[in-house]
Every structure is written in C-alpha cells, then in structure tokens.
Amino acid sequence: MAKRIGVYVCHCGGNISDTVDVEKVVEAIKNYPGVVVAKHFMFMCADAGQKMIEEDIKKYNLDGVVVASCSPKLHEMTFRNCVARAGLNPYLFYHVNIREDVSWAHSDNPEEATKKAIRHVKAGIEYVRHAKPLEKIKVKTIPSVLIIGGGIAGIRAALDLSRMGVNVFLVEKSPFLGGRTAQIWKVFPTGETGKEIVRRLIEELKKRDNIAVYTNAEIESFSGFLGNFTVKIKVYPRYIVKKHPRITEAIKKCPIEVPNEFDYGLTKRKAIYIPYEGAYPDLPVIDMKHCNKCGECVKILGDAVDFNQQPQTITLNVGAVIVATGFDAYEPKEGEFGYKKFQNVITLPQFERILDISNNEEKIMFNGKEVKSIAFIYCVGSRQIPTGPEKVNEYCSRYCCSVTTHLNAELFKKFKDLTIYNIYRDIRTYGKYETYYEEAGRKGAVFIRYDPNDPPQVCAEGDKLLVTVRDLLTNREEIEIPVDLVVLVTGMVARENKKLEDILKLPIGRDGFYQEIHPKLRPVETNIAGILIAGTCQGPRNIQETLASASAAAAKAASIVLRETIELEPLVAFVDPSKCNLSKLCMKECPVNAIQEKEYEGLGVKAWVNEALCIGCGACVAVCPTEAIQLKTLSTDQIRAMIKAMAEEI
Amino acid sequence: MPEEFKPKILIFSTNFISDLAIDLTGLLHRHYPVTTSIIRIPCSSMIRPDIILYAFQCGFDGVFVAADGTDCPFLKDCSDRTAKRIAEAMELLKKHGIEPERLKMSAICSVCVEPFLKHIHDLYEKVKKLGPIKRKPE
C-alpha cells in the first residue's frame, strides 16, 4: 500500500488552468492521507515537469505518483516511463484526466470544474494507495501491415514498409491505383504531370515482391489488438481475367457510354474501360452497373472475359493498419457562382482534366471555343462562413492558393495572349510557394480581392461570362470582368466512407477528416493503437505533405511490427486462492476459457488464471461471490476507494 | 429558498471505447453536468452489482454505465453480459429502497459524442426529478 504519494497537477499552458484553479486543487489535496508532496506546473509533460517528478520520487522516496493532466490516451505512457526512469514500478502511477473530462467539458463553470478536478485527483490518489507493482506481458507481433487506399499516400507507405522487410497488403476500393493525383495536369514544384508521379511510384511498386495489391476491394470486418489484427476483405470481380493484345479494339467496340468519373464527367467512357493510358493494374475492368452483357467484347477477347467471376473474401493477419483513403473535391452547389447554371463555370479539378486531355493543343479549347480569358474564384467550399445551423467547411483547404498561382505561371508559359484574373479572399502561398504568387503577378496575372460577405457574382453575357466584383484593393470599386471561362478554386472535403469508419471505428474530427491522437506530438497515430492515418484523409494537404505523412505512418507501422514481441499492459485477472471458494462461476463466465482449476499448496484446489489466454475483460470479476478474482490493474478495492473519494463533499 | 438539487452522477467509462467518446466530448468543448465523476474501467462487463449499490450508499444520486456495446474489443456479447449485471444491480437497488431508474446503462461507441450527451443529460434530469435518495440514518 502506497504511503508516500506525490501528486502533480498540470496547467497544460492554460488549457486546464484557465478553467480549473490548479492552486486550489493542490491546496485541497496536499494534506490528503498519504500525500507527501503536491505541486502544480505549467507543462507537466515537458522535460522540466518530468524531471521534477523524477527528482521528487528520489528525494521524497515516493511509492506512488498521481499526475492530473490531459487524457491518458495522450500522456499516460509518458508519465509511466517517467516514473519508471526514477526507479519506481510504473504501475504505482495513476493518470487523472482533468482536461478533456474537466476543464474543456466544463469551461462554462470554473468553480464546479475545480471541484470535479479535486474529486478526480482524490480518486487517483486512492487508486495509487491500493496499487501493486506489476510487470508487462509480452506478445508476438505479425510482421505485416494492411494499407487501405491505393493513392500516392498508400503506395508511398507500401514502398517504405516493403523496403524495411515488412509484408504489405495494399487494398484499394476502385479498380485502379493512383487516386486523385493521376488527375492533375501539372504538379508543383517540378511541373511534372500527376500521372508521371503515379507512374514512378507504380514502377517501384512492381519491383517489390512483398507487396500484395488488391484493387476493387473493400474491408469487410476487423478485429484484434495492436500487433495482431484479423481483417477480412472482399475483392470484387473485374470480369477481365487476363491480358489480351486486342484490348483497345474491344473497348472501342463496347456500345455503352457513361460519364467518365476520372474526368469529372467531362468526357465519356465505355462499360469496359481503363481510365487512362498507363493506369495500374494494366487490365481493364467491366463496370457491371452499366454493362448489358451484349457480348461485343467477348467476341474479341474470348476467354479473357469471365462474366461469372464471383467476389472473393480473403482473411489477412496484420500487426498494424494504415488508413490512406484520401479526399473528395468540393462539389459546388447548383448556382454557386453560376456552377451548373452556366456551362463555362467549372471547378479547378475539372479544369486540370481539360488541360491534361488537351495537353498537345496550342490553345485551351472548351466546348469547341478557344478560351482567351479565365477568372479563378478562390476559396470555393473552403473558409465558409456559417449562416445557420447547417454545418459548413470553416477550414482553409491549404493547397488551393499554391496550386492556382502555380497554374497561372504554367498557363502563361504554355499559352500566348491569355488573360487571367485571380479573384481571391487572401492568398496563402505559404513557405516557398510564395514564389508562384510572385511569378503569376510578374507574368501579368490580375489579382482582385473580394469580401467574403459580398462575394463576386457570375452571370452570362452573350456566350461569355460576366464576373462582377467589388475590389477591396481599390476601395470597393465595382468591377465587371468579361471572361470565357470561370474556374472555381474548390477545396478538399472529407470523403464519404461510412462503412469503413464504422468497421474500424475511426475517430473523426470537427471538419469530418480523421483525427490524429495529437496534432503535434503524435500526428499520424489514432486513438486506436495500431491504426495509423496518412495523407488527405486526415485533412487538406498537398502532394509533398501527403507523401511525408505516408512515410511517417510507414515508419510508425514498422516500429510496431518489426519488433518480434510487443509489451502489453498487464491487463489480466488473477486469483487470490485464500479467498476462492471454487464456485466456478468465473470459469463459466470467462469468454476464452482462461480460468482453470489448480492445486495450491496448503489451500487445496482453487481457480487459477492462465495469463497467456486471459484477455483482461474482467467479466469474471463481476460474478465472483467472494471477490477472490480481480484484475491486476484495477481491483474492486480500488474501485470502491475511488468511489468513496469521489462521493465526498468538497 | 432551498438550494437547487444538483444530482451527483457517477460515470463508468471503458478504456478502449466509451472513454474515447467522453474525451472527444471534452475535445469538442461540449458541456454536460459538472457534478459528474468518471471512473475508467477496462470493460463494462466487469461491473459488480454491489459496487453500483456502494456508489449510491456513498452519496451518488445516479450512476451511468457507458458500456462497450457491440464494439467491445473483448466480448462479442458484452451488451448482454453488462445488461445482466445492470439488471441484477437494479434488483439490489430496489431491495435497498433506491429507485432503479437512477441507474442507466447505454452503449457509447468511441465517437458517440451526441449519444453520450443525450444520455447523461437525460439521466441528470430524471434523477433531478426524483430528488435526493431518502437514506435511512445509519
């Protein structure tokens, strides 16, 4: 039983102390039984905070430590390790959450929040008073990683892991790898096409023999723990089972035409298709939603077509998972800046497709007419201002200013006699991308700044468009700009992926993107141990940032699976044979048959827990008539002591 | 005028599932009654009925068990097991003259911010209506 307890209350730089009176908390518990030292500090997780705890453990010969700070999901391990460094058993420690559970949840009531913090800290002291030293349990890990999403982030992570000797399963929902990057005309800073970036990654991918690629596949179920997950995937049929030299001819023959999603509906594709030359895998797919099985392609391809192909379910065992499911482009509402009302109002991703498709032309052609003047309207679908209860995208999409100013420069480079208007709110070409903004201006692009509360209006004038805008740079003078094409610079939005989110229980942040455990300290980890996130599924970012996060996630995944064993918390049950009356109720309740009978010297036959099998749920604890069976990390005595402490009036 | 009754509610959250939702609730700065106290446990199936009775005897006016539900990383039938414990606890409460409505269990998934807020507010209001427990002098 701990009799010399140290209590440390964190300000979290104001996150806690702006609401909770931390001095009052320390004052309230410093004379609490067993407490020999109680302190508050600006950042307990900082070096200085941890040092202070370590020194106190030695100085006061502490046998128990309580830290009251953020969520234990963030820093429980930090402080456990800190305590261990000072030579104290790391389980003689309790992490009290007074940030998420107190200061943030009750910022509306500082006085009562302080009382709640005191209650929680007292309970933490009681936990430690009844805590016993414990050792970690070692389990084997599976040296494979599942990557969900075959865009550039997923491929990058797959390559990195593959090189480290980790087996990779790369699962992509659509029939082809490459994601959205392949749709981009020219990427900054190199001016390469998006397809070229994808091609180079795929070339590397083809050389690796420890990456298994599943396209047209989805996650069906997910279970297990860090280091040892079981995932079922469903691979949908392609209906084309092998390569054939006359593929192009067969595609031409297909009578079905549907809007091509790869070109955002600007072009048509067939029911049997490859989205672009060089797409991977190098095998077309038949879109069964639209195919009428007329048999035209079978006449050419013969047994390369198999209409009877069935979906396949495959079970994968992996040690970690990387989610890299990407983003969706913001789809403007009908009539938003004339979108869908006027044909020549298009989005930035559509414009990229037009430029890519007509890469060999000397003019920009749209609907059979040459485009000589373009107006880009910025911040469409980003930084939206809430006007009612409806949720809007309040965030900045981050990539669009750099992309569009870079595009200005590329357009001037390629096309002569072009007039470009940039109708913007603020230009955010951060870091080195500032040069694109300068270059665009230098080459003659016009910049007009609009007020988001008085946005530009787009209307038709003959076969041209007329953009009316009040320019903030010239004292709100109303300017009318006739242009051939209006391009809406649309942002990124979180992708619709409910099924996957439900299966993996992915944490979702305020903007709908997947949420990391800590934006700075643990930027690619989620609160589900062993599930990592990479790329734009986490929030808007450019290609460079996407690939950097993919490599980070790969390194994190490798750090899990490349250890032969990982240490798990000693979250198991044990039996006090002197209390056991062998009711056997625990054995009936145990879901994994981890409890057996065993002869104890001098005590006779009693229940015994096989730690290797025990999963630590505690179901047995609830049914024992004599409280003989307990969880090592949380006994009923501890719970009772915590309840009693929390119930006391303050 | 007598002081307004502010029920004291004990919340049991689970380390891998419902505590994440309660964390997220705070992260989003969503408010709920401040007279709550939270104890983290590994899985809601471990709650002993006598522990729940003990909480009321110690002075809590209500108990909310934020259960793992079908997301439980340990047990497929976690809801059934926890429900059984809660039913036993309700019987025990009745025997001790405590209204069983003061105890509520609901599965709260790791991102279930709205359900958590709804359940905790509902229980708070319900217990407020019931008033303090009529405890016999010991």
First to last CA, chain B: 28
ipTM of the complex: 0.97
Q: Does residue B132 surpass a pLDDT of 60?
A: yes
The per-residue pLDDT for A615 is 83
Q: Is B32 on the interface with A (CB under 8 A)?
A: yes
Those residues with Cβ within 8 angstroms of residue A243's Cβ, 6 or more apart along the chain or in another chain? A282, A283, A304
Q: Residue B120's domain spans which residues?
A: 9-130
**In angstroms, rounded to a whole number, what is the distance separating the alpha carbons of residues B122 and B129?**
11
CA distances in angstroms from A392 to A73, A105, A337, A361, listed in the order given? 29, 23, 17, 39
Q: Does residue B1 surpass a pLDDT of 80?
A: no
Q: Per the domain annotation, does B125 fall within a domain?
A: yes
Under the banding of pLDDT at 50, 70 and 90, the label for residue A481 is very high
Q: Per the domain annotation, does B138 fall within a domain?
A: no
Is B46's CB within 8 Å of A510's CB? Answer: no
Q: Among B24, B28, B51, whose Cβ lies nearest the Cβ of A639?
A: B51
Q: Among B25, B54, B75, whose Cβ lies nearest the Cβ of A617?
A: B75
The per-residue pLDDT for B71 is 78
Q: And the tokens for A566?
A: 């990982």
Q: Does residue B3 surpass a pLDDT of 90?
A: no
Under the banding of pLDDT at 50, 70 and 90, the label for residue A174 is very high
Q: Per the domain annotation, does B73 fall within a domain?
A: yes
Task: State the best of B17, B48, B68 to mutate against chain A, taking most chain A CBs within 10 Å.
Answer: B48
Helix (H, G, I), strand (E, B) or coil at A433: helix
Is B42's CB within 8 Å of A120's CB? Answer: no
Domain A571-632 has CATH 3.30.70.20: yes
Contacts of B83 in chain A (CB under 8 A): none
**In angstroms, rounded to a whole number, what is the distance separating the alpha carbons of residues B119 and B32?**
10
Q: Per the domain annotation, does B113 fall within a domain?
A: yes
Q: Write down the H helix ranges in A63-137.
A: 72-85, 110-129
Q: Among A116, A528, A589, whose Cβ lies nearest the Cβ of B37?
A: A116
A400-456 tens-digit pLDDT: 999 999 999 999 999 989 999 999 999 999 999 999 999 999 999 999 999 999 999
Task: Return the closest-CA partner of residue A185 out of A449, A419, A495, A409.
Answer: A409
Q: Does residue B134 surpass a pLDDT of 90?
A: no
Asked if the domains A330-493 and A571-632 are classified in one and the same CATH topology, the answer is: no
- Cis bond before residue A281 (omega within 30° of 0): yes
Average pLDDT, chain A: 95
Domain boundaries, chain A: 1-135, 144-236+311-326+502-565, 247-304, 330-493, 571-632
* Plot region of A506 (φ>0 → left; ψ -120 to 50 → alpha; else → beta): beta
Q: Taking a contact as any Cβ pair under 8 Å apart, which residues of chain B between 100 and 119 contact chain A?
A: 109-111
Q: How many domains does chain B have?
A: 1
Query: What topology does CATH give the domain A330-493?
Result: FAD/NAD(P)-binding domain (3.50.50)
0.90 surpassed by pTM: no
Task: Return the closest-CA partner of residue A184 out of A430, A411, A350.
Answer: A350
Those residues with Cβ within 8 angstroms of residue A67's Cβ, 6 or more apart along the chain or in another chain? A8, A10, A44, A53, A75, A79, A93, A94, A95, A96
Architecture per CATH, domain A1-135, reads as 3-Layer(aba) Sandwich (3.40)
B70-121 tens-digit pLDDT: 878 777 788 999 999 999 999 999 999 999 999 999 999 989 999 999 999 9
Contacts of A527 in chain B (CB under 8 A): 20, 23, 110
Q: And the tokens for B69?
A: 């539900």
Those residues with Cβ within 8 angstroms of residue A27's Cβ, 6 or more apart along the chain or in another chain? none
Under the banding of pLDDT at 50, 70 and 90, the label for residue B136 is low
**In angstroms, rounded to a whole number, what is the distance separating the alpha carbons of residues A582 and A628?**
9
The per-residue pLDDT for A215 is 98
The per-residue pLDDT for A549 is 98
Q: Per the domain annotation, does B4 fall within a domain?
A: no
Q: Is B45 on the interface with A (CB under 8 A)?
A: yes
* Residue A160: burial class (beta carbons within 10 Å; 0-12, 13-18, 19+): buried
Q: Report strand pairing: B62-67 vs B103-107.
A: parallel
Contacts of A528 in chain B (CB under 8 A): 110
Those residues with Cβ within 8 angstroms of residue A77's Cβ, 6 or more apart along the chain or in another chain? none
Those residues with Cβ within 8 angstroms of residue A328's Cβ, 6 or more apart along the chain or in another chain? A492, A493, A494, A495, A496
Q: Does residue A2 surpass a pLDDT of 80?
A: no
For the residues A328-333, what does the mean pLDDT come to?
A: 96
The per-residue pLDDT for B137 is 52
The per-residue pLDDT for B26 is 96
Q: Per the domain annotation, does B14 fall within a domain?
A: yes
Is A591's CB within 8 Å of B75's CB? Answer: yes
Task: State the best of B17, B19, B38 to mutate against chain A, taking most chain A CBs within 10 Å.
Answer: B38
Is A507's CB within 8 Å of B71's CB? Answer: no
Domain containing residue B76: CATH number? 3.40.50.960
Q: Per the domain annotation, does B1 fall within a domain?
A: no
Q: Is B70 on the interface with A (CB under 8 A)?
A: no
Answer CATH for A144-236+311-326+502-565 from 3.50.50.60, 3.40.50.1470, 3.40.50.720, 3.30.70.980: 3.50.50.60
Question: How close does chain B come to A647, measured CA to CA in Å?
Answer: 6
A38-88 tens-digit pLDDT: 999 999 999 999 999 999 999 999 999 999 999 999 999 999 999 999 999
For the residues A347-375, what does the mean pLDDT come to?
A: 93
What φ, ψ does residue B9 adopt, rounded to 5°? -115, 130
Under the banding of pLDDT at 50, 70 and 90, the label for residue A359 is confident
Q: Among A123, A622, A634, whose Cβ lies nearest the Cβ of B85?
A: A622
Q: Taking a contact as any Cβ pair under 8 Å apart, which residues of chain B between 2 and 21 contact chain A?
A: 8, 10, 20
Cβ–Cβ under 8 Å, residues A532 and A525: yes
Under the banding of pLDDT at 50, 70 and 90, the label for residue B2 is low
**What residues are paired with A219 via a beta bridge?**
A233
A257-289 tens-digit pLDDT: 999 999 999 999 999 999 998 999 999 999 999
A488-510 tens-digit pLDDT: 999 999 999 999 998 988 888 88
Q: Per the domain annotation, does B15 fall within a domain?
A: yes
Cβ–Cβ under 8 Å, residues A68 and A120: yes
A151-165 tens-digit pLDDT: 999 999 999 999 999
Nearest CA in chain B to A510: B28
Nearest CA in chain A to B59: A647
